[in-house]
Amino acid sequence: MKMFSINGVQYHVEMKGVGMPVLLLHGFTGDGSTWDKVFPHLGNYMTITVDLLGHGRTDSPEDPDRYRMEHAVEDLNQILDELKIEKVYLLGYSMGGRLALAFSSAYPERVKALILESSSPGLRRKEERTQRAAGDEKLAEMILTRGLDYFVDYWENIPLFLSQKSLPGDVQEEIRNNRLSQNPKGLANSLRGMGTGKQPSYWEELRDLPMEMLFITGELDNKFCLIAEDMKKETRNSAIVKVNGAGHALHVEEPEKFGTIVSEFLKNT
C-alpha cells in the first residue's frame, strides 16, 4: 500500500505482483478492492489499483471542481511519475473506463493497450450532457440529504445492476458493504465533478488513439453493448467481447471469465 500526495490530495495506491504493469480503475461507488477477484487471473503482470478521488481511502475534497476529469487525468499522470512507470496496460470499468479513455487521449504514449469494461466516451451533445448533469445533481442531493443507506438501496435496484440479483448472497452482501463504506461527500462530489454530464465528450479523440483497444460488455447490458458497437465503428484497432449471461459489472459477476478475457488480450498485444 502506498499513499501519494498529488496536487494537494492524498491518493491510496496498491501494487501487487511483478511484470508489465496493468493499471486498473474502478467504477462509481467502488474502490481498488473491487478488482480482488480478477487478480488471480493476471498472475504474469504487476497490478496497480488507485482509489479514485472521493472513493476508498483516497481523500474526498470539498470542492466538486477538484473532481473534474481533466484534474483526474493529471493526477493519474503524476501517480505514474511517482511510481517511476513509463507505460501501462490500462483497464477501466464504467466511470473508471471514462477516466481511462480520457487519460489515453491526453497521454497516448503512456498506454500500451486500453481495455474498457462497460464504459463510454461520454455524451456527444451538449443538451444530453446538461440533462445528465441535472440527473447526477439529484443523485448527489439524495446521497447528502437522505444518507448513504438510502442511496445504496436505490442504486442497487436500478436496471443497470439487475443482473447482480442472481449472484450468491455473500457476493451481493460484499458489493453492498463496499458501497456503504464510501464517503457520502466523496460520492456526491464525484457525481458533480466527474459525472457523465460534466465530462467532455471523447468521441472525436477515440478515432485518433494509436493503441490497441478491447471493449468488454455483458450481454444483459444492452445500452453498453450498443455503445461498444458505436465505439468500434470509430476506431481502426479495436475488438469487442460480449459475455453471455452477464450484466454491467462483469469483473464482479464473472471474474474468472473476465480475467481470462483480459489476460488473453494482454498476452496477444
Give the tens place of pLDDT for each residue, 209-256.
Answer: 999 999 999 999 999 999 999 999 999 899 999 999 999 999 999 999
Q: Are 89 and 265 in contact (CB under 8 A)?
A: no
Q: What backbone torsions phi and psi does residue 5 show, to the nearest 5 degrees?
A: -90, 110
- Residue 72 CB neighbours (<10 A): 25
Give the tens place of pLDDT for each residue, 103-114.
Answer: 999 999 999 999
> What pLDDT was estimated at residue 202?
97
> What pLDDT was estimated at residue 1?
82
Give the tens place of pLDDT for each residue, 3-33.
Answer: 999 999 999 999 999 999 999 999 999 999 9
In angstroms, the CA 14 to CA 47 distance is 8
Q: Which CATH class is domain 2-267?
A: alpha beta
Average pLDDT of the chain is: 97
Instruction: Break the chain into its structural domains and give their ranges.
Output: 2-267
